[in-house]
Amino acid sequence: MSELLLTGISQLVTAEGSSARRGAEMSKLRIVTGAAIAIDGGRISWMGREQDWNGFAVEVVDVGQRAVLPGLIDPHTHAVWAGDRLGDFEARAAGATYEDILASGGGIWHTIRETAGRSCEEMAATALPRIEALARSGATTVEVKSGYGYSVEAELRMLRTIRRMAGQTRVRIVPTLLIHICPQDEAERVALRDAVCGELIPEVAREGLARAVDIFVEQHAWSSTDARMILTCAKAHGLAIKLHTEQFQNVGGLELGLELGALSVDHLEACTEVQCRAVGESTTIATILPGVSLHLGLPAAPGRRLVEAGAAVAIGTDLNPGSSPLFSTSAAMGLAVRMNGLNALEALAACTINAAAALGLSDAGRLEAGCVADLLVLASDDWRDLAYAMGHSVVRDVWVGGRRLEL
Ligand SMILES: [Zn+2]
């Protein structure tokens, strides 16, 4: 006997098995027509064709011949920030570049100054509606990074904010410590790096404030030498690692990530053919962020080449105030089809099973017995509408842990 049975599912599309889908496997998903799902204790207990169900359910919910998909997983956001970047948006529309704005003390420095003065309560109150917006677009798990702190104390406050938010929403929140801006002054850089390794990472590990440590590796950010010290320290404290890398230049970040067994390397707009093949031969997930390319008008990451090289590609919104004010995970999925050359099945794998792998989750991102019952009921009977529709969400209902979210 099951607690709950969902029936009337026109199409159910899911990856099978707990490992990430690589290369050509990304488009080999299971499509079940006329499906049903049984749910017990917040997890899927059975899934298959409705006509094959021969159990008994206490409650039956008929979704009315609509498509059902795994809840989307957004593996890369900076959803906690204070202030806004509307001035930057106007300046860029008038011709200023990202670097011009940064050099004039705007951009991320503005966000750091605004965020520094806020309490955890204030930050959580402004960030939660962003999580809810992502949930309305289909995200049932959202990774949230710190990174606008620029001091040990401010980073800890951001991570405590993320923990507070996790207790205030049913959307699953996965916290990441991001080592973001690198001081240009040599002594300040060394002091911050030493504080990160000597104080911040040990405290984050002790309090269980993050699952992974991420670092921004670029010419104007951290070097791969500093990143190696920081990521090695993170691993020694039992934390997974990730990198923001190959966004603008190739300064060794991607190779370092692959060598150290990073969960994911994220951005990759400047990833070369040789690097695509290296990712394809690794177990690291390639997370692409098409919202950045759209918002900044920069070249998109080579999604197609990564898939053809055998990589496991994931997609994130990179929700942040400066380079990707994209409040929709399903829109990121649709953009990856249009801008990064993925097909719709690959994009769905990238937003579900592969995004789960990018966060180290093995029981989410697919609809199989034993997995968490996180799923979407679309307004459409055809799942492809999710990546197709622009400026309009076709997500009708979002279920987390076997219960519908009130959105
Ligand atoms: Zn980012």
Ordered domains of the chain (ranges, CATH):
2-70+363-404 (2.30.40.10), 73-358 (3.20.20.140)
Q: Please check the confidence at residue 175 and state whether its pLDDT lies above 90.
A: yes
Distance CA 146, CA 182 (A): 14
pLDDT, mean of residues 363-378: 98
- Give per-residue pLDDT as tens, 202-248: 999 999 999 999 999 999 899 999 999 999 999 999 999 999 999 99
Reading phi first (left if > 0) and then psi (alpha if -120 to 50, else beta), residue 238 is in: left
Q: How far is CA 403 from CA 166, 193, 329, in A?
A: 17, 44, 20
Q: How far is CA 281 from CA 276, 312, 317, 352, 359, in A?
A: 9, 10, 25, 21, 19
Q: Are 268 and 288 in contact (CB under 8 A)?
A: yes
Ligand 1 centroid to 37 CA: how many Å? Answer: 35
Ligand 1 centroid to 23 CA: how many Å? Answer: 24
Ligand 1 centroid to 34 CA: how many Å? Answer: 39
Stated pTM of the model: 0.97
What's the whole-number average pLDDT of the chain? 96
For residue 285, give the nearest of 46, 45, 23 by alpha carbon.
Answer: 23
Indicate the residue type of 219.
Q
- Give per-residue pLDDT as tens, 265-308: 999 999 999 999 999 999 999 999 999 999 988 999 999 999 99
Ligand 1 centroid to 62 CA: how many Å? Answer: 39
Distance CA 288, CA 77 (A): 12
Ligand 1 centroid to 268 CA: how many Å? Answer: 11
Ligand 1 centroid to 77 CA: how many Å? Answer: 6
For residue 382, give the nearest of 9, 5, 63, 74 by alpha carbon.
Answer: 9
pLDDT, mean of residues 70-77: 98
DSSP 77: B
Q: What are phi and psi of 336, to 5 degrees?
A: -65, -30
Q: Please check the confidence at residue 102 and state whether its pLDDT lies above 80.
A: no
Distance CA 171, CA 165 (A): 10
Ligand 1 centroid to 257 CA: how many Å? Answer: 16
Please provide the DSSP assignment of 108-121 as one string: HHHHHHHHHT--HH
- Give per-residue pLDDT as tens, 104-115: 877 888 899 999
What is the b/e burial string over 156-180, where b = at least 16 CB atoms within 10 angstroms of the residue's CB?
bbbbbbbbbbbeebbbbbbbbbbbb
Alpha helices (H) in 65-213, listed in sequence order: 86-93, 98-103, 108-116, 120-136, 152-166, 186-195, 201-207
Q: How far is CA 19 from CA 211, 312, 364, in A?
A: 19, 10, 11
